[in-house]
Amino acid sequence: MTHLKKYWPLHLMVLPSLLFLIAFSYLPMGGIVMAFQNFKPRLGITGSEWVGLDNFRFLFEREDSIQVIWNTLLIAMLKIIFNLIAPFTFAIFLNEVRKELFKRYVQTMVYLPHFLSWVLLGGILLNVLSTDGGFVNRILESVGFDAIPFLMDGSWFRFTVVASDIWKEFGYGAIVFLAALSNVNPSLYEAAEVDGASRLKQTLHITIPAMLPITIVVGTLALGNVLNAGFDQIFNLYNPLVYDSGDILDTFVYRTGIIGGNMGFATAIGLFKSVISMVLIFISYRAAYKWANYRIF
């Protein structure tokens, strides 16, 4: 009680966020019961028929459900891998820049896309990658290549989704790696230079080892998001032509529950994803603690 009286302004500052969390994260959890019902909006939760695990059984019996799960895993894993490699590599190259003003300019430029919403970027990509006069395809056609249906062909759609996500996030993701490099003792580089080590050898034996602990942490914690392939991005870019290769769990839930009206089945999909994600988050935190001695508590 004494602690509360002493720090009441801080608790008051946290209160709006706490209320927001309760209202939009905890109270809606009561709707999980719809996953075990043949939910009818006119009957509500109390009046809808209970069907047990039928919705979950139906999830694994539908061919399109299995394809959606595969799409989610594939796209999410590609994003995790390349969103680890890209900022790692970028941080190494940026660390070699000696002109501080140019370095800060580059950092600012690559950070900016992170703060743009996928609603805006989706519209830009739809225009830039269009086969009907899009900037990229106009360049390809001008040098003798055929137009590429980046957003109309399944295989190209996955490539576009992963590549655009890397472009948007690699600059912001490099912050943690640059922070790790800022803690490296400059005398290590000076001693290596005195011993005749080239810049490449300094990078291999000083820079990269200094980045490995945070790389392990970032990589293992990212496993908890293996079923989050990016609803905002996919929703703003996909279309019926690429459902087979681009539809993910979140967009499938939207189309099944909101558009199709099958609330019980959509809730079952969401619950399935949440349970798997919770298990993966637990495993990833344990792995980060074991391999990199990282813990939040």
| Residue percentage of the chain with pLDDT more than 90 | 11
pLDDT of residue 240: 85
What is the reported pTM?
0.84
Q: Which residue has the higher pLDDT, 2 or 250?
A: 250
**Homologous superfamily in CATH for domain 34-292:** MetI-like (1.10.3720.10)
pLDDT in tens, 160-179: 999 999 999 998 888 889 88
pLDDT of residue 165: 93
- pLDDT over 60 (residue 4): yes
pLDDT of residue 168: 93
Q: What ranges do the domains of the chain cover? A: 34-292
pLDDT of residue 294: 65
pLDDT in tens, 184-227: 888 888 888 888 888 888 888 888 888 888 888 888 778 777 78
**Averaged pLDDT of the chain:** 85
Tokens of 288: 């980060």
